[in-house]
Copies of this chain bind each other. A is one copy, B any other.
């Protein structure tokens, strides 16, 4: 195995605990356990599409840290750059799956996590030499001061190494305010090659239709590629998914997916993985189409991890949906 990964991602993964059967957390007597975290999900998504990927994070030396690691390894994500620490904790989040009019909701319990203590200087980023894409999201710098610095360090190292940078804004209102996010993310997005801007409007106060928002962001920050998923929710359990991007020209996802929602988490990360897949093939239309197909497929699968196969995604992109039972 080589270090010249197609994709390297940086960020936290957490133990996700969710009450079964649409229960509220207050009434739960058992919680389902999966592993969730935006950047790990992208690394897994990329691996499912046949790319080689590596994930960089900091994990606590205990059973929960091992549980998280197992999920990454299971999906063939390289973990050789993971840092272990004796005193941090595993970040947790509790997910309540809603139904209209009750939205799904996340209760974070991730303060003082091992990952939030990641600091500049801990990772030798020279290994990005030969890597094709570094991906991270707006969650990582939201975790802590040291994470902010580590994120900038990583992106600067990528630029130096000739590695493209993909960045998903991923605004989390429970972690910071739009204002805080703006201050931290503005210098970052100026460095990125691909920006996924689904939540960008809130932060930079850009108004208008998706296309306008993207055009404005592209212009304001000088970003080569900006993309965005477009959702129309007709309930918590039913949504329509598509996407657009502005690069050399405007692109739109070929299909709009009418999706029956099993699990909303990790959908944006599946979009990112598909987008990177197409971007690395040098074709933005493919990027959106794989992004949309990955996102739509993920929505039908419980957990944050996208257990779609490349064959399934290829077929969805090429032949479109077939909802009849396969037998």
Q: Spell out A's residues near B (CB within 8 Å).
A: 1, 17, 20-34, 62-64, 66-67, 70-71, 73-76, 80, 89-90, 92, 94, 96, 98-109, 111-112, 172-174, 233, 235-237, 257-262, 264-265, 293, 296-297, 299-303, 305, 307-309, 312, 316, 321-327
**14 new A-B pairs (CB below 8 Å) besides A26-B63, A27-B301?**
A22-B262, A30-B32, A70-B74, A70-B75, A71-B74, A100-B300, A101-B257, A101-B258, A101-B293, A102-B297, A103-B321, A103-B322, A104-B325, A235-B260
Residues in B whose Cβ lies below 8 Å from that of A296: 101
Residues in B whose Cβ lies below 8 Å from that of A94: 63-64
Are the C-beta atoms of B105 and A327 separated by less than 8 Å?
yes
Are the C-beta atoms of A27 and B73 separated by less than 8 Å?
no
Are the C-beta atoms of A103 and B302 separated by less than 8 Å?
no
Are the C-beta atoms of A326 and B74 separated by less than 8 Å?
no
Going nearest first, the 5 A-B pairs with the smallest beta carbon separation are: A106-B327, A25-B63, A99-B260, A74-B74, A99-B300
Residues in B whose Cβ lies below 8 Å from that of A104: 325-326
Instruction: State whether A327 and B98 are in contact (beta carbons under 8 Å apart), knowing that A29-B29, A73-B74 are contacts in the complex.
Output: no
Residues in B whose Cβ lies below 8 Å from that of A25: 63-64, 67
Residue of B nearest to A76 (CB): B73
Are the C-beta atoms of A324 and B62 separated by less than 8 Å?
no
Instruction: Kindly provide the distance from the CB of A98 to the nearest chain B CB, expressed in whole angstroms.
Output: 6
Choice from B107, B109, B235, B299 contacting A323 with Cβ under 8 Å:
B235
Complex CA–CA separation, A105 to B62 (angstroms):
12
Residue of B nearest to A301 (CB): B24
Complex CA–CA separation, A233 to B303 (angstroms):
26
Are the C-beta atoms of A174 and B327 separated by less than 8 Å?
yes
> Which of A99, A111, A262 has its CB near the most chain B CB atoms (within 10 A)?
A99
Are the C-beta atoms of A300 and B101 separated by less than 8 Å?
yes
Residue of B nearest to A71 (CB): B74
Complex CA–CA separation, A201 to B33 (angstroms):
39
Residue of B nearest to A235 (CB): B260
Instruction: Kindly provide the distance from the CB of A115 to the nearest chain B CB, expressed in whole angstroms.
Output: 15
Residue of B nearest to A257 (CB): B101
Are the C-beta atoms of A111 and B108 separated by less than 8 Å?
no
Instruction: State whether A17 and B32 are in contact (beta carbons under 8 Å apart), knowing that A103-B322, A105-B326, A260-B235 are contacts in the complex.
Output: no
